[in-house]
Amino acid sequence: MGKILIEKLLRSCPDISHIYVLTRAKRGVDPQIRFQDILEGRLFAPLRNNNPNILKKVVAIRGDVTEPKLGMSSSDEELIIDTVSVILHVAATVKFDDEMNNAIRMNVIGTYSIIDLAKKIKNLSSIVHTSTAYVHCYRPWTNKDQCGEQFYPMPIGKYDSLSPEELIAVYEDAKKNGVDKTDDILGTFPNTYIFTKVWAEKVLSEIATDLPIVIMRPSIVTASWKEPFPGWVDNLNGPTGILAAAGVGLMQTMYCIRWKRADLIPVDLACNLLGVLPWKVGTRDSKALTIYNCTSGYEAPLTWGDVATALRYLMKYPLEKMLWYPYACSSSWVMSPMKNYKFLDRVCRVLFHWMPAYFIDTVCAILRIKNTSRVRLVQKMTKAMKVLEYFSTREWHWDKKNVMALYDEVSVKDRQLFRFTFHGFEGWDRYLEKTMLGTREFAMKSSSDSMDDCRHTLGMFYAVHQLWKLFLFGMFYFLLSMMWAKVFA
């Protein structure tokens, strides 16, 4: 979201003087140099071609949201205090299975630090805090009882009396003794991400109500719909990782109830709303802390079955570096990776994840072929899928009254410039096709020139896959024959 947001602000808000981006130094590389590499990427190519000087407005500030005072120098802090008027807080660890101590430092303590800085800024007009629509996913929000754009009390837990630093100490002390207290601390929460995001909202409700602040709660952020070009995505987090794993033939099955809603929000819609909210905060009369649910189900419902059907586009646009035939991406309902029943999914995992992985690794070991361990890849994927199952087997409904009211407030021109609703949306099937292409081109960095070669490789893997199915069928027939002979001998 951060990259798309910066590109959008530079392109659509020419009067912005500077955009200061808190950036960590990495391996001794200066933050400005690190960020310069990002600005030289394809995402910013249109801006570089049309107005190269506009990129000079982006200034990387050395810092770290997990450190005291955001890790900034005194001079940089004074610069922010004197010149900044809008804070867009999008920094967070989005790993569902991140370590508890890391998640607390980034999402909770980082929020405290942002608010401390905001209270020093001389001409602050607005703060937008990015949360998640799933902050209260432990409750079964239905169409009749929707999750509103409001605060809800954080569930009572056994560690409520502890500060973030104290809870980190409890977690780390237990870990030193070989005990993982993650589940004990989480209670009703599914993972560390949701837990710390709810805690961050609680922090804001307690110490930031005197500031011009709003909270945006996006659902599952996915590839761009239109801006700056369709299908842009540059990482393999969340749904993009699932698409890539299916496309290379690694993921062949997933426990996912097909008729449940999958609430996806294109990244450009989310960033457009982020761009409008500072204006709303700066011009409103009330100082009440307002929340905006940035979700799709209200306007454009989507099910996991729709996502499974759209996987066929990965057969039309095959990926490079295939590991196996991606039969899960075929149009056959039987072969769909989205299994409604957990038992069926686990059987398919053994047959089409673990058995091929061990078979290939064994053959490579015998022939002394150096290759990436398929077993390790399957282990990583299985861990990621376990975390996602909580969301792929449930559904939630959100109210969007504040978002729709905001749409009515902005001018027609700004609605076109900052499109943050699904007006004019051509449908999920078309969008997901663009997403598949974007995954191939931007996330997997595959050249369009390799498409024919990939289709040829796809045909070869198809033949190997058919032989594998014959082998499994033969083994099943052999075992069944032996059992039959013993029973009726």
Q: Is the pLDDT of residue 252 over 90?
A: no
Higher pLDDT, 12 or 372: 12
CA distances from 183 to 99, 187, 191, 206, 463 (A): 11, 6, 8, 26, 45
Average pLDDT over residues 67-83: 93
Residue 113 lies in a domain: no
Residue 186 lies in a domain: no
pLDDT mean across residues, the chain:
89
Residue 11 lies in a domain: no
Residue 8 lies in a domain: no
Residue 420 lies in a domain: yes
Cis ω on the peptide bond leading into residue 228 (within 30° of 0)? Answer: yes
Q: Which range marks the domain in which residue 460 is found? A: 236-260+305-396+411-489
Q: Into how many domains does the chain fold?
A: 1
pTM: 0.90
Residue 383 lies in a domain: yes
Structure tokens at 477: 């027939």
Average pLDDT over residues 459-474: 84
pLDDT band at 334 (very low <50, low <70, confident <90, very high): low
Residue 471 lies in a domain: yes
Q: Is the pLDDT of residue 215 over 60?
A: yes
* Exposure string over 366-401, b if 16+ CB within 10 A, otherwise e: eeeeeeeebeebbeebeebbeebbebbeebbbbbbe
What pLDDT shows up at residue 489? 61
The residue type of 232 is W
